[in-house]
Structure 1
Amino acid sequence: DVPVLKMETIAAVGLAGNVVQFVDFACKLFSASHQIRTSREGLTDDFDSVQIITADLKQICTALTTSLSRDSLAAQDRHIASLGTHCLRTAEKLLGTVLKLKPRKGSSRWSNFQAALKTIWKQDEIDQTRVRLTESLDQLRGHVSQLGQQLQRETMQTSPTDRIDGENYYLLPQELPVYAAQLMTASTRENYLLDLTRLIKSLHFEGLDFRYSKVTRAHVKTYEWAYEHKFAQFLQSEEPLFWVSGKPGSGKSILMKFLFDDPRTTAYLSEWAGQRTIIASNYFFWINGSAMQRSQEGLLRSIVLDLLLQCPNLRNTALKFAKELGQSRWQMSSESMLSSWDLSRLSELLMLITTESQSMYCLCLFIDGLDEYEGEAQDLNELLISLRHFRNVKLCVASRPLNEFENAFGRDQEHKLYMQHLTSVDINIYATDKLEQSPDLRRMKKEGPGVDDRISEITDKAQGVFLWVRLVVQSLLRGLQNADRIIDLQRRLAEYPRDLDDFFRYILDSLEPIYREQVAQGFGAAQAAPRALSILQFWYLDHED
């Protein structure tokens, strides 16, 4: 009789393949985690790809556990099972180590620096584990090679008419492709991840989330009105767009960050999304940032990147699109594709994956600072209008009340708000909390009613401009440190201009003449710099050789 393909061989190949995949992915994950440096959301340049690799590694561990549970391995293949068990024990420790290196979203530079230090401290442990896994990989590849040769010999000897017989399990030749398809090789998987990592890097740019991370968090107990307002109804409804408008300094960016971060937003969106997964993304234009930070290209890169990181089912579509751009523009085997994107291609890719996402995902995009966009407002408005036509997309946008945005988004009274009309209570809460941190003011408050009158005066003069309130409160606190009396605080308030521009002019005019040249030099450097200068750079500028 002609022998048939035995399940023992297939099981051994499957187990070995799963273990090889695990070790290859583990080594790749360690390598990526070693390259931590400050980047998007305080993460590393490669941490986004580490997250993807980690998710795939968990899936491989599941497959490996299934393989180890089988009792069909021959005695000579028990060594593979032993290696597999060792790798599984490493998995939990591996994933825990790498994930501890991730700073929290929106974390400070100090937090990012601490994360980088943790990476250095963990490097010895990482290196030792990499060496052990590499040794295991070399042994496993030898086993896989032998099993492959054995499988090939048995395949050639198998008769097409053989069937399952008795207590032994056999595999028909025509069934082999089914099992072969299940055994995706480590090299194929690695190539996929390499392409995906390059795609992610091509979309990322320096300072992508810098503006969002620097926006002040809402003061405690402020902006609570948003969820008692028509905005909450918008989140639950089929309406595609809501416009937040307000004067400069009225707190639009703070509100946008508050709405994006607050879990109640997701809860309300779930009423609209139903069974589909909610994907939230944000982009904050910044007029003082780099050219990319105030451009439509930066907006498109950010949204596409967020969708690919949060929506695994869209990645193959994006990779296929990228490869179809042509070898002259996109070479998946090199780094030349990093500069291959242009505005039309990015827009086309966003529309493609948004269309692909409709049955699975609901997208809610928070876009702040439309008036800080560098370009024709009409171009930006056209992009937003094209997105609002998708039934699975909601847009919450914010800007000053300029005519171009009033005409595009302001006609629907039910789906817009003006900040200065809604923040008087918030301003009172903020001013009261900040001023009452001063022991001197608390003493004054016990002595008479004048303090409450001054806080009410701040609220009235602010006209809904939170930035004006912050500047005034800081000035009053400095006065309290200098032993100002109630009458002195009253005089200070009377001197402050109500208009924000006039207030800045008042501050500059208050400078002693000896400091004005120094301040002018700082303003000039900031205006000429291609991107925002750090405090350290201003310090060097301020100190002569």
Structure 2
Amino acid sequence: MVIEALAAVGLVGNIVQFIDFSYNLFTVSTAIHHSYAGASQSARDIESITKELQQWCAKIASRRNSQGQLLPSHHNKSLVTLVAGCENAAVELLSALHALRAKDARSRWSCFRAALAATWKEAQINNMEKRLDTYRQQIANRQIGADLTKQISSLKHDIQHAVETLQKDLNEVRMQISKRSSVIDSGTNTTEDDRHDRKALAASLAECTSIASDIIIALALLDSLPFEQMDFRHSKIQTAHSGTLEWVFSTQWKSWIESADPIFWISGKPGSGKSTLMKHLVHNSRSHLSSSHNLVIVDYFFWVGGTDLQRSQEGLLRSLLYDILRQNPQLMKRILPDAWQDVSSRLAGGVATLHLARRCQAWTRGELLEAFHQLSTINDWDTKLLIFIDGLDEYAGDHEDLIWTICNLTKLDVKICVASRPWNIFEDAFGSNLKRKLYLQDLNKDDMQRYVDDNLRRQPNFQRLERSQADEIVGEIVGKSQGVFLWVHLVVRSLVEGLRNRDSISLLRKRLREFPSDLDQFFRYMFLSLEGVYKMHLSHMFQVALTADQPLSPIAYWLLDEIE
């Protein structure tokens, strides 16, 4: 259809050109006819115009013959009519032109209008002009229609191309929508399939939040238990001399640690090394239970020179509870339910974490004992407690009350090793079974022998002594010690000082024999040996030490000395 339209447009072009030339022919002729001189420059173009008119008529005929298969549309029928009219006009014009050419050439080219008038009548000429003008108007209209047809055809082509492009884009959009729909459907299915997992995740997040709150509460409670200088005494106890105290693992202590008996008592004179032995047992791996139970080891060292809290049951219980919960924080909510609830409420109320522990810092003995009672009721805690309590004689309260507390702790699955001086109250409470006690002064002779040998025999001046003389001095020291390790330490220090001063064997013996055999006598001897001017100064030092709320540092005593 498009090709046929283009052919019609070509035919219209030929008709337009024919009419234009024909109409120009009559216009020129009219100009000649009305010219005064009877001549015009355009007259010279008549012959060429006539030839061109013949050519256009031939083109019209040729174009029409080639377009015989045009569709019988409205425009095509009009074009056929115009072609026929143009052909008739062309035949008439050509006939007139041929007639003119047969006459005198001069008259033929002098005035085309005059010659044509001679051949045609005026009416014929006028009629031809009207016909050509009509054809011209019609062809103008048809040209406009043809142009519109061409434009419509082009527009249709553009529209068709746009539709095809749009269809392609639409198909692409449909594919994208399909893909999106698949993803959405897949997501919807995944959501449905994973709904249980999402619920589990939400539950896990809630559980994590709860655990975080529990940790904050547990830390607050744990932080409320320790107190200043709680471990001071333990840290100041001298470590056992190398190679000493190993004998304890071959005594009744070894059999007790593997038995079901709850309490073992270590007794010893003042200065015999009880605290050193207890510290050795706490840290020596061979003191641990050889069983399938989990083991928690806690300890406390009373100290007569410490603060009131250090010498109290509250201090003892807080320290033990702190060590137990520090190693087993999961027990805290169960054995401290009231305190836990209180701190939890304070946390929910927006109390700062740093202030949560303040409420619990004034623990009472009753609250602490209740915590241990709650601990004794837990049946699913597969753990063995091993408790070391040193210095029962240095406790500042009622010792019977302290003994009751210790015995009350045995309700737990616990083993308790205590140490004290051989006072009757402790003998009555813990000394009835010889297999569950030991007297340190009866067992530490070999340790003293090693200690004296190691400290004296490494002195060059002592090495110069005869073997018998050296053995005599060592034996006398151990024999006079009565199991008091502190006395041995003081005597050895005095003899080392003499050796550095190059004392003779006789002077060394004198130092040893003048040294008091009892610590009380020793300290009395030291005090009495001071010059009078120093006794008043020392008395002030003692008074300050006795009235101080806590142990003073050497710098404090130095400042006191400077003030005086």
TM-score (norm 1): 0.65
- Residue 170 (structure 1) shift: 4.8
| Cα deviation 1:97-133 (Å, max 9, x = unaligned) | xxxxxxxxxxxxxxxxxxxxxxxxxxxxxxxxxxxxx
Q: Distance in 1 between matches of 2:521 and 2:389?
A: 29
Q: Distance in 2 between matches of 1:263 and 1:441?
A: 37
Q: Which residue of 2 aligns with 1:221?
A: 243
Larger radius of gyration: 2
Q: Distance in 2 between matches of 1:340 and 1:181?
A: 37
**Would you say the 8 A contact 1:451–1:486 is kept in 2?**
no
Q: 1:414–1:337: structure 2 CA closer, same or farther, 3 Å change rule?
A: same
Q: Secondary structure at the match of 2:516?
A: coil
Which of 422, 439, 443 is the aligned partner of 2:443? 422
Which of 241, 259, 270 is the aligned partner of 2:290? 270
Q: Which residue of 2 aligns with 1:103?
A: none
For 1:333-482, list aligned pairs within 5 A. Answer: 333=351, 334-335=355-356, 336-356=358-378, 359-390=381-412, 392-444=413-465, 447-482=466-501
Q: Distance in 2 between matches of 1:260 and 1:235?
A: 13
| Cα deviation 1:194-217 (Å, max 9, x = unaligned) | 222221221010001110110111
Matched, 1:323 2:340: yes
- Residue 387 (structure 1) shift: 1.5
Q: Which residue of 2 aligns with 1:211?
A: 233
Matched, 1:502 2:521: yes
Which of 221, 226, 232 is the aligned partner of 1:199? 221
Q: Distance in 2 between matches of 1:183 and 1:327?
A: 19
Matched, 1:302 2:324: no
**Would you say the 8 A contact 1:241–1:396 is kept in 2?**
yes
**Would you say the 8 A contact 2:264–2:437 is kept in 1?**
yes
| Cα deviation 1:177-233 (Å, max 9, x = unaligned) | 433222247654443332222212210100011101101111011111100111111
Q: Secondary structure at the match of 1:359?
A: coil
Whichever residue aligns with residue 546 of structure 2, its letter is Q
Of stretches 346-355 and 180-189 in structure 1, the one that deviates more from structure 2 is: 180-189
Whichever residue aligns with residue 270 of structure 1, its letter is S
Q: 1:498–1:188: structure 2 CA closer, same or farther, 3 Å change rule?
A: same
- Residue 514 (structure 1) shift: 2.4
Kindly tell me the number of residue pairs found equivalent between the two proteins: 376
Which of 523, 542, 545 is the aligned partner of 2:561? 542
Q: 1:523–1:282: structure 2 CA closer, same or farther, 3 Å change rule?
A: same
Whichever residue aligns with residue 403 of structure 1, its letter is N
**Would you say the 8 A contact 2:266–2:418 is kept in 1?**
yes
- Residue 467 (structure 1) shift: 0.8
Structure 1 unpaired stretches of 5+? 1-157
Q: Secondary structure at the match of 1:294?
A: coil
TM-score (norm 2): 0.63
Q: 1:477–1:358: structure 2 CA closer, same or farther, 3 Å change rule?
A: farther
Q: 1:193–1:359: structure 2 CA closer, same or farther, 3 Å change rule?
A: closer
Whichever residue aligns with residue 542 of structure 1, its letter is D
- Residue 510 (structure 1) shift: 1.6
Q: Distance in 2 between matches of 1:374 and 1:332?
A: 40
**Would you say the 8 A contact 2:442–2:483 is kept in 1?**
yes
Which of 510, 523, 535 is the aligned partner of 1:516? 535
Whichever residue aligns with residue 390 of structure 2, its letter is D
Identity over aligned pairs, percent: 40
More helix per residue: 1 or 2? 2
Of stretches 357-366 and 498-507 in structure 1, the one that deviates more from structure 2 is: 357-366
Structure 2 unpaired stretches of 5+? 1-183
Q: Secondary structure at the match of 1:293?
A: coil
Q: Which residue of 1 aligns with 2:276?
A: 254
Whichever residue aligns with residue 298 of structure 1, its letter is G
- Residue 358 (structure 1) shift: 5.9
Q: Secondary structure at the match of 1:497?
A: coil
**Would you say the 8 A contact 1:270–1:278 is kept in 2?**
no
Q: Which residue of 1 aligns with 2:544?
A: 525
Whichever residue aligns with residue 435 of structure 1, its letter is L
**Would you say the 8 A contact 1:329–1:340 is kept in 2?**
no
RMSD: 2.7
- Residue 322 (structure 1) shift: 1.2
Q: 1:178–1:522: structure 2 CA closer, same or farther, 3 Å change rule?
A: same
Q: Distance in 1 between matches of 2:467 and 2:255?
A: 44
